[in-house]
Amino acid sequence: MSNMGLLPMRLFSLGVFLAVVAPRATYAQCGTVEAHIATCTHAHGEPSRAAFEAWMRQTLAQAHKTNQTGQTNQTGTIPVVVHIIHDGESVGQGLNIPAAQVQSQLEVLNEDFARLNADSTWTPRLFAPLAAKVGVQFCLAIVDTNGNVLPSPGIDRMDRKERGWPLGPYTISTINSLLKPATIWDPSRYLNIWVCNMDPYIYGYAQYPESPTLPGLGGNQLATTDGVVLGYKYVGRIGTFPAGLDKGRTGTHEVGHFLGLYHTWGDGNCGDDFADDTPTQKNSSSGCPTFPHISCSNGPDGDMFPNYMDYTNDACMNLFTKDQQARIWAVLSSSPRRASLLASTACQSPQTGVAHNLAYGKLTLSPNPAQGNVAIGLPRIVGRGKLWLRDTTGKTILEKDLFCTDPAITLDVSAVAAGTYWLAITTATGAVVGQNMLVLLP
């Protein structure tokens, strides 16, 4: 809710506004604000949130005139690389989370930002008209910064012992000063997400976007820390999670910060999140409140506790609003290291230039996870094609010739070892037309 009367009380720097997340009901869940303050104290100069919002208002006004921002037909895809900082465990153990868990986080992001989440029907009736299909999608990067094909799309595993880094859990300060600068990929081409062992009171945090018109934001200094950080216990929806954190919404919340959104309570008592269609609310929510939950004289509808930028349990979050959507597209239109993400080719094959949509492969796999046989719904191909099953190192395990008349096939994987694999369909020329992750059970 926009509340300009509160502005003088809340002059936070927006160069790197980081949001910290901790246990939903016990701690300050999101560390973005803490990280923002720490980073901007380190940078040269500190523009206020008021100055950033002045730029935002101007950008939104111009977009409204040209009918460009906040429209449901706006779409774009952001390449993602996930840096997994582990203690030397085998893949799938401890901090070294499996590729399937990373994939599930991408699926959650794509559902939530497209309002394709199954729980969208739980949005209270009075808030439903405000809900938005943001139009931003996310893909796991196919190539690294040098153009080399990644053995496991979108994943960069890092043994902290080989780097000589201390044992976690890590503070925001350590992550920003040590881990991030040593591992970040070009933030103008990739959304960098770090997964590591964080302080137990933090679930995650993000770096806020910058205004292109504000000087003194730290320049390249901020470019070495840009992205999102998630505690390894809070990634995706595959695995074992703390209560209330099992649907990947920590990732949705933090990416919201990365794209310019504030907490719905404005980080103050009846504060301002600068989105006019989110009601003013007294403070953060927890658990799963009963509708309506009234505060700050915001009746009869009350707090918008199902918003992804609140602190409710994952199962009770289910919407972004139209004004939040407009803010996101304003940031993607011109904010440094945000606008360029939509033009990045990091999700394209270097051989064919064909984009891989790894978060939403065109292949339908059933069952998945699987044992024995897998039914595969095929995308439309012209002439001959080929099916490939590869492990996470890129090694080909199975291949099969296909024909355009095949609507679906059943693949026998009974002889393939349990694990995580990539199943892809290519044309005769090698262009990838469909791909998805397949998990095989023992």
Q: Catalytic site residue 254?
A: yes
Q: What is the mean pLDDT of residues 124-140?
A: 95
Q: Which two tokens stand for residue 150?
A: 């990644």
Q: What is the pLDDT of residue 40?
A: 54
Tell me the one-letter amino acid at 426.
T
Q: What is the pLDDT of residue 11?
A: 27
Residue 252: band (very low, low, confident or very high) from pLDDT cuts 50, 70, 90: very high
Catalytic residue among 53, 210, 254, 399: 254
Identify which of 36, 17, 29 has the alpha carbon closest to the alpha carbon of residue 201. 29
Greater confidence, 221 or 188? 188
Query: Residue 218 pLDDT more than 50?
Result: no
CATH topology of domain 364-440: Immunoglobulin-like (2.60.40)
Domains 4-343 and 364-440 agree in fold: no
Q: For the beta carbon of residue 224, count every other beta carbon within 10 angstroms.
A: 15
Give the bridge partners for 440, in sequence order. 370, 419
Query: Residue 3 pLDDT more than 70?
Result: no
Greater confidence, 147 or 384? 147
Greater confidence, 321 or 361? 321
Residues 6+ apart with CB under 8 A from 153: 140, 141, 142, 356, 358, 422
Domain-by-domain residue ranges, the chain? Answer: 4-343, 364-440
Residue 142: band (very low, low, confident or very high) from pLDDT cuts 50, 70, 90: confident
- Greatest mean pLDDT among 61-70, 360-369, 386-395 lies in 386-395
Scored b (16 or more CB within 10 A) or e, 307-340 reads bbbbbbbbebbbbbbbbbbbbbbbbbbebbbbbe
Q: What is the pLDDT of residue 236?
A: 96
Q: What is the mean pLDDT of the chain?
A: 83
**Distances from the Cα of 330 to the Cα of 133, 286, 310, 323, angstroms:** 15, 30, 21, 11
Q: What is the mean pLDDT of residues 297-324?
A: 96
Tell me the one-letter amino acid at 248.
G
Residue 431: band (very low, low, confident or very high) from pLDDT cuts 50, 70, 90: low
Identify which of 81, 45, 366 has the alpha carbon closest to the alpha carbon of residue 211. 45
Query: Residue 127 pLDDT more than 90?
Result: yes
For β-strands 419-427 and 432-440, DSSP reports them as: antiparallel
Query: Residue 250 pLDDT more than 60?
Result: yes
Check: CB of residue 187 under 8 Å from CB of residue 228.
no
Give ∠ CA 363-369-375 in degrees, rounded to 5: 45
Q: What is the pLDDT of residue 44?
A: 38
The one-character DSSP state at 178 is: I
Give me the residue label for tokens 């339908």.
364
Residues 221, 244: Cα–Cα separation, whole Å: 36
Residue 285: band (very low, low, confident or very high) from pLDDT cuts 50, 70, 90: very high
Greater confidence, 222 or 59? 59
Lowest mean pLDDT, pick from 26-30, 195-199, 215-219, 237-241: 215-219
What is the CA 296 to chain-centroid distance, rounded?
31
Residues 352, 363: Cα–Cα separation, whole Å: 19
Question: Which DSSP helix (H) or strand (E) runs through 100?
Answer: helix 99-114
> What percent of the chain stands above pLDDT 70?
79
Give the bridge partners for 137, in sequence order. 77
Residues 356, 426: Cα–Cα separation, whole Å: 11
Which class in CATH covers the domain with range 4-343?
alpha beta
Residues 6+ apart with CB under 8 A from 181: 224, 225
Q: What is the pLDDT of residue 349?
A: 65
| pTM of structure | 0.77
Greater confidence, 179 or 150? 179
Residue 405: band (very low, low, confident or very high) from pLDDT cuts 50, 70, 90: low
Check: CB of residue 309 under 8 Å from CB of residue 261.
yes
> What percent of the chain stands above pLDDT 90?
55
